[in-house]
């Protein structure tokens, strides 16, 4: 575990302290979200972790909503735990409302349900090609060969990034998420900025049908264009999300599916159930935790939040709240409701939620058309990363090819 903070603040009561390391807790295993849920069953709904500089963790569905919908107290302008000098600045993620609204309006048309529906044909063709490339082999590393290639390829086409750099860019994103010091964060950030400085310069001279060209030409009102720094800050957060998050929630969901042959057969026979399968996967296997900075003293639910403290909203816990669902750790596509905040909610609701849902659904459909029965390779550990963004490192699967 990481070292303890020097002092537990005086305003934190002993019963509010729960010793948990979000980056290296030994209780977390290959069933990351399941073991996370088990480890925190004895923790308060809001608790103080003395690790990583000391910070609050909020783990219940409704309490998470209260925090992320209250930017006047819980600001998104810093999102590093522990706090670092010169923290990365993401647009629109690090911008509190109402200042974030114009930036969200820039992105909304590109990620709206209508825009996603228009992309479905191309997404399906990509998914079919990727699955076909492994279907006859009888085995693959689902993370490397499928889950990374499909959603990341979709993202890279939207951005106008070269597809031959896919695994290189994924490695950069992974390095960024593993960084803990200001120096390491800055080093990874400069790599990402370098990628987009080159692409922006190219698109200024050679416009295309991609998001970078849209950023360069969109009117922010009164003829104002986005500045270079604004475009870079928007590309930065899109890069991190596009390279990592959908890949991981998809792979965790397929890790579960690999151990449930009855569900595989049911989905293959009833592809109309795929939206429910994708949504239950999102509920069970969220990968995002959203940090917030307390910008004014605030007392709620018996907790004294103090200015300058960090709060982690463990979004992946929102879908496993026993106050919202019976048996929340059971995967069940027949649930009447599947409540979760794995795309957050309120002023920072993830704009890519419609795209992520479509990608998970389409990939499952195309996979089960060609690989209707599969299983995890026995005896192989998958490896994972925890922190503010959870990742699965590999998922070796095998099947009997047709």
Q: What is the pLDDT of residue 176?
A: 86
| 8 in any annotated domain | no
| 242 in any annotated domain | yes
Residue 261 makes CB contacts below 8 A (sequence gap 6+) with 373, 375
Give the total number of structural domains in the chain: 1
pTM of the model as a whole: 0.92
Cis ω before 136 (30° cut-off from 0): no
| 11 in any annotated domain | no
| 9 in any annotated domain | no
| 248 in any annotated domain | yes
Q: What is the pLDDT of residue 95?
A: 95
Mean pLDDT by 10 residues, the chain (402 residues): 65 96 95 96 96 96 98 96 89 94 93 95 96 97 94 90 86 84 87 92 93 94 94 90 89 97 97 97 97 98 98 97 96 97 95 95 97 94 92 96 80
φ/ψ of residue 398, rounded to 5 = -140, 155
| 346 in any annotated domain | yes
Crossing angle between the packed helical segments 182-205 and 228-258, to the nearest 10 degrees: 110
| 5 in any annotated domain | no
Q: What is the pLDDT of residue 344?
A: 96
CATH number of the structural domain spanning residue 261? 1.10.630.10
Q: 357-380 burial string, b = 16+ CB within 10 Å, else e?
A: bbbbbbbbbbbbeebeebebeeee
Q: What is the pLDDT of residue 2?
A: 47
Tell me how far apart the alpha carbons of residues 31 and 248 are, in angstroms, rounded to a whole number. Answer: 13
Q: What is the pLDDT of residue 42?
A: 92
| 12 in any annotated domain | no
* Cα–Cα separations (whole angstroms), residue 162 to 52, 123, 127, 154, 376: 37, 17, 18, 11, 32
Q: Using H for helix, E for strand and C for coil, what is the string for the chain?
A: CCCECCCCCCCCCHHHECCCCCCCCCCCCCCHHHHHHHHCCCCCCEEEECECCCEEEECCHHHHHHHHCCCCCEECCCCCCCCCCCCCCCCCCCCCCCCCHHHHHHHHHHHCHHHHHHHHHHHHHHHHHHHHHHHCCCEEEHHHHHHCHHHHHHHHHHHCCCHHHHHHHHHHHHHHHHCCCHHHHHHHHHHHHHHHHHHHHHHHHCCCCCHHHHHHHCCCCCCCCCCHHHHHHHHHHHHHHHHHHHHHHHHHHHHHHHCCHHHHHHHHHCHHHHHHHHHHHHHHCCCECEEEEECCCEEECCEEECCCCEEEECHHHHCCCCCCCCCCCCCCCCCCCCCCCCCCCHHHCCCCHHHHHHHHHHHHHHHHHHCCCCEECCCCCCCEECCCECEECCCEEECCCC
Domain housing 95: 17-398
Tell me how far apart the alpha carbons of residues 114 and 121 are, in angstroms, rounded to a whole number. Answer: 13
Q: What is the pLDDT of residue 307?
A: 98
Half-sphere exposure in the Cβ direction for 315 (13 Å, CA): 26
* Cα–Cα separations (whole angstroms), residue 261 to 221, 258, 268, 313, 356: 54, 7, 10, 34, 25
Tracing tokens 């990402």 back to the chain, one arrives at 192
By CB atoms closer than 10 A (0-12, 13-18, 19+), residue 324 is middle
Q: What is the pLDDT of residue 6?
A: 53
């Amino acid at each position: 575990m990481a070292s303890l903070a020097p002092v537990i603040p005086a305003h934190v009561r002993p019963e509010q302290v729960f010793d948990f390391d979000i980056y290296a807790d030994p209780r977390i295993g290959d069933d990351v979200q399941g073991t996370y849920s088990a480890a925190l069953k004895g923790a308060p709904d809001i608790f103080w972790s003395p690790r990583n500089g000391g910070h609050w963790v909020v783990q219940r569905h409704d309490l998470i909503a209260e925090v992320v919908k209250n930017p006047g107290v819980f600001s998104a302008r810093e999102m590093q735990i522990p706090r670092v000098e010169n923290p990365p600045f993401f647009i629109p993620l690090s911008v509190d409302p109402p200042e974030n609204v114009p930036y969200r309006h820039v992105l909304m048309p590109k990620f709206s349900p209508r825009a996603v529906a228009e992309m479905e044909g191309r997404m399906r063709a990509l998914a079919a090609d990727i699955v076909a490339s492994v279907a006859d082999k009888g085995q693959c590393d689902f993370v490397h060969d499928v889950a990374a290639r499909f959603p990341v390829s979709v993202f890279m086409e939207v951005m106008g990034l070269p597809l031959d750099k896919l695994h290189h860019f994924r490695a950069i994103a992974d390095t960024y998420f593993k960084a803990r010091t200001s120096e390491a964060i800055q080093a990874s950030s400069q790599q990402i900025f370098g990628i987009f400085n080159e692409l922006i310069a190219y698109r200024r001279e050679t416009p295309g049908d991609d998001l970078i060209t849209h950023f360069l030409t969109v009117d922010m009102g009164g003829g104002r264009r986005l500045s270079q720094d604004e475009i870079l800050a928007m590309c930065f957060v899109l890069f991190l999300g596009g390279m990592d998050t959908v890949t991981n929630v998809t792979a965790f969901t397929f890790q579960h599916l690999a151990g449930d042959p009855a569900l595989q057969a049911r989905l293959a026979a009833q592809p109309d159930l795929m939206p429910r399968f994708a949504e239950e996967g999102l509920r069970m296997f969220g990968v995002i935790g959203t940090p917030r900075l307390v910008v004014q003293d605030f007392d709620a639910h018996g907790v004294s939040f103090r200015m300058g403290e960090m709060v982690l909203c463990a979004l992946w816990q929102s879908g496993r709240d026993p106050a919202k669902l019976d048996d929340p750790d059971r995967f069940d596509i027949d649930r009447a409701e599947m409540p979760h905040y794995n795309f957050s909610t309120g002023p920072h609701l993830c704009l890519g939620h419609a795209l992520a849902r479509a990608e998970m659904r389409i990939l499952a459909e195309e996979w089960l058309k060609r690989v209707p029965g599969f299983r995890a390779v026995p005896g192989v550990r998958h490896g994972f990363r925890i922190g503010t963004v959870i990742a699965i490192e590999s998922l070796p699967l095998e099947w009997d090819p047709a």
